A and B are shown apart, each in its own frame.
Chain A
Amino acid sequence: MKKIGVFLCHCGINISATVDIEKAMEALKDYPGVAHIEDYKYMCSDPGQQLIKKKIKDLGLDGVVVCACSPTLHENTFRLTVKAAGMNEYKMEMANIREQCSWVHKDKTVATEKAIKIIKSVIEKARLDEALDPIEVDITRKAMVIGAGVAGIQTALNIANSGYEVILVEREPSIGGKMAQLSETFPTLDCSQCILTPKMVEVSNHPKIKLMTYSEVVDVSGFVGNFKVKVKRKATGLDWDVCNGCGLCTEKCPKKLPSEFDQGLGERKAIYRPFPQAVPNRVVIDFENCTYMQSGKCGICQKVCPVKAIDFDKEDKFVEEEVGAIICATGFETYSVKDIPEFGGGKLPDVVDGLTFERILSASGPTGGEVRRPSDGKVPKDIVFLECVCSRDPEHYLPYCSKVCCMYTVKHAMLYKHRVHDGQPYVFYMDMRTGGKGYEEFYQRAAEEDKVVFIRGKVSKLYQDDDKIVVCGVDTLSNETIEIRADMVVLATAIVPSKGIRELTKLLKIQIDQHGFLSEAHPKLRPVESLTAGVYLAGCAQSPRDIPDTVSQASGAASMVCTLFANEKLKHEPIIVGVNEDICSGCGICTVVCPYDARKTNLEKKLVEVNEVLCEGCGACAAACPSGAAQQNNYTDNQINAMIKAILGKGG
């Protein structure tokens, strides 16, 4: 019989406070197969791992059960531990007695009993575990970055500068993302354009970066090192290879529409470039609003185009790319003012969100950087900024903190004051969160030098009265109600995941959290990886964050990709489903349920053959096989049935 070592971790007191370790050890020490049982305060620490290694060597263990946290957290840690001691790493199993036991039950007797059941079932599995060798597969050293805001740009540049090819996919006609819309950035007040546009140009000139703007990912298959991605290149109505970006068409186009880039404050044409510094410097036709596309009359752009690039071709094109890693950097949106009825529901023109105010402040914006309110173009003399709009409000809106609003509101108030010297900015805040290098000093400067009035409190409602907006709130430090007759109000609305992220995560097979942000593999130790190998995360798609954090994380994700690409071969999990040729009759039932076409019937041999590289190890075929010829490595029927027995007290 196998000699199994059982190692119980206290996890400080995370486990031992609810699971009686001594009692569990007493109940398990004579369980069939258990050759050794031991506990330790922190099994994942170096002494803990040394202890496991020593016992494997001293006692000649050929199976190890670590009873600790979720395998998601430390399965890899302990696999490496046993491997270092000369044991096959697939003979190590983890019993999750923390997340699925000690943390969810308070009664010590009950939790201990359950822990014993869990451990017994895992011992049963370990007893039948076989030594497996990872399957080696080739790797495509090319990455795809989805989303070309500052996160995607940084990731792409880092990977490309390491010598690997990158495909940068962006849904909009230009790269740059939300950062391109910003005026100046805290806490240094350097203009967003000055720090971002050089990077955008670097991307477009980089020999290792292939830019695919106005494109969307529509299908993803494969696995780490070997993804196949189908990209839809949306029809632009012209040939980008011919277009030289002169912009004559946009000047002559008669159809005017609100500009998305200027948050609806400025205008664009039906044939347009989102903003003057767009990369690539190309135009697209908005088919829905183009007069020619709708009525067949007009075609002015075609007439004026000096290079004859315009063809009104509406056909989307699809391309397939093979990449080894994918980085999801799809960014964010802000909570729509239209969905906030107590603050006017988008019907009050002088109540705008933060991003709109960025455009008003921007030197390249619709007002040329002069602060003028949208309704009548007057310079607002009293301006109110509201923070935490929809954030930190679990009862009505969203429970989380959007992280950047404190700082950008301070910046807004400051920049307003720099432009309107006789104006008065007021800021309603819940708590001032200024964690970051130079942030607190920036906030102090706004209060002391720029005389921004900070009011700790919330605003319950606001309404239009003549040409004023009446802001009704309460100062929670003095307990006084406050009413400000303002000329303009800026709402720091919550940051929410960008549209379409749900569909993309389904394609990428990665998880999202309850608010729709991308889930990381571990919040502290694996913050830039998803749970799906080869798919990485960067920027606000994961959670709200500011530019410095986004850029650091983007570089982190790039470094993970380079680490992956530095491997000569990739290791594919060997928990695949094989074929026992002695039993297999070649009926082919298993081939029908395989999602990867990894199983094929060989009619001549009357056998099913398996492509080990394609098999992802879901086990659907193993459950479908009527004869038991298809068995999943280390998840065999015998193992699962033995686990069931052990849980129900009939094991051993």
Chain B
Amino acid sequence: MFEPKIIAFYCKWCTSAGADLAGTSRLQYAPNIVGIRVMCSSRVDPEHILNAFKEGADGVLIGGCHPGDCHYKSGNYVTLRRITLLKTMMEDLGISADRLRLDWISAAEGKRFAEVVTEFTEQIREKGPLKKESLKEEAV
């Protein structure tokens, strides 16, 4: 069975704390995701995401605080705009936009964290590895 490689970026305050709660609640989820903890989802540069695809990721997940809940007031709105824009560009680059997922997961949503991770992993597994599609490396 194809095991996708997925990179996740979690903000420290909400999604990473939600992932910790999934841990303390001993919820099981797909192991394909490895997370990078940043202070805010707005630290994630579209270049980091494209770079992840270039280096072999089959999917990228961004986790931030719910709208209105951002620890830095408006960081997640910046993220939302960037990701929306990036998704339109991704298609042009030959990467299917649904390989990138942005989700709001709060510190209280351990269960939701586990669900999102598992669901996204299955979705990427179904899509298959990224190399089959026409990633234009020079464009990255």
Contact = CB atoms under 8 A, between A and B. Distances in A.
A106 B43 contact: no
B1 to A, nearest CB: 13
A105 B23 contact: no
Interface in A491-516: 506, 509, 511-514
A643 interface: yes
Which of A506, A644, A649 has the most CB atoms of chain B within a 10 A radius of its CB?
Answer: A644
A616 interface: yes
Interface string A96-109: 10111001111100
A113 B13 CA distance: 26
A118 interface: yes
A59 interface: no
B89 interface: no
A519 B13 CA distance: 12
B34 interface: yes
Contact of B34 (A618, A640, A647): A647
A587 B121 CA distance: 40
Given A511-B13, A620-B43, A623-B42, A644 B75 contact: no
B42 A619 contact: yes
A200 to B, nearest CB: 34
A594 to B, nearest CB: 9
A620 B17 contact: no
Which of B36, B106, B114 has the most CB atoms of chain A within a 10 A radius of its CB?
Answer: B36
A161 interface: no
B23 A70 contact: yes
B124 interface: no
Which of A70, A105, A650 has the most CB atoms of chain B within a 10 A radius of its CB?
Answer: A70
B7 interface: yes
A70 B20 contact: yes
Given A514-B109, A647-B36, A622 B55 contact: no
Given A114-B34, A644-B7, A618 B106 contact: no
A593 interface: yes
A476 interface: no
B43 A637 contact: no
B45 A637 contact: yes
Range of interface residues on A (Cβ < 8 Å): 35 or more
A268 to B, nearest CB: 36
Contact of A648 (B14, B26, B45, B55): B55
Contacts of A513: 108
Contacts of B34: 114, 117-118, 121, 647
B127 interface: no
B47 A637 contact: yes
B7 A506 contact: no
A70 to B, nearest CB: 5
A306 interface: no
Nearest to B6: A647
Given A100-B19, A595-B72, A105 B31 contact: yes
B136 interface: no
Contacts, number: 142
B34 to A, nearest CB: 5
Contacts of A111: 31
Interface in B40-78: 40, 42-48, 51-52, 55-57, 68-69, 71-75, 78
A618 B43 contact: yes
B123 to A, nearest CB: 19
B114 A104 contact: yes
B20 A99 contact: yes
Contacts of A514: 108-109
A72 B75 CA distance: 21
Interface string A617-631: 111101110000000
B42 A509 contact: no
A511 B107 contact: yes
Interface string B101-116: 0000011110000100
Which of A104, A117, A622 has the most CB atoms of chain B within a 10 A radius of its CB?
Answer: A104
Interface string A392-413: 0000000000000000000000
Which of A99, A506, A512, A641 has the most CB atoms of chain B within a 10 A radius of its CB?
Answer: A99
B59 to A, nearest CB: 12
A648 B52 contact: yes
Given A620-B40, A620-B43, A637-B48, A648 B5 contact: yes
B82 A100 contact: no
A224 to B, nearest CB: 13
A623 B44 contact: yes
A33 interface: no
Contacts of A637: 45, 47-48
A292 to B, nearest CB: 39
A44 B129 CA distance: 40
Interface string A540-573: 0000000000000000000000000000000000
A506 to B, nearest CB: 6
A6 to B, nearest CB: 17
B108 A644 contact: no
B55 A618 contact: no
A645 interface: yes
Pick the 7 closest A-B CB pairs, nearest first. A619-B43, A99-B23, A620-B42, A618-B72, A618-B40, A623-B45, A103-B23
Interface of A: 70-72, 96, 98-100, 103-107, 110-111, 113-114, 117-118, 121, 506, 509, 511-514, 519, 531-532, 575, 593, 595-596, 616-620, 622-624, 632, 635, 637, 640-641, 643-645, 647-650
Given A595-B74, A619-B43, A620-B78, 17 more contacts: A71-B37, A99-B22, A104-B23, A104-B26, A104-B114, A506-B68, A509-B13, A513-B108, A531-B107, A596-B73, A618-B72, A622-B43, A623-B45, A635-B38, A637-B48, A648-B55, A649-B56
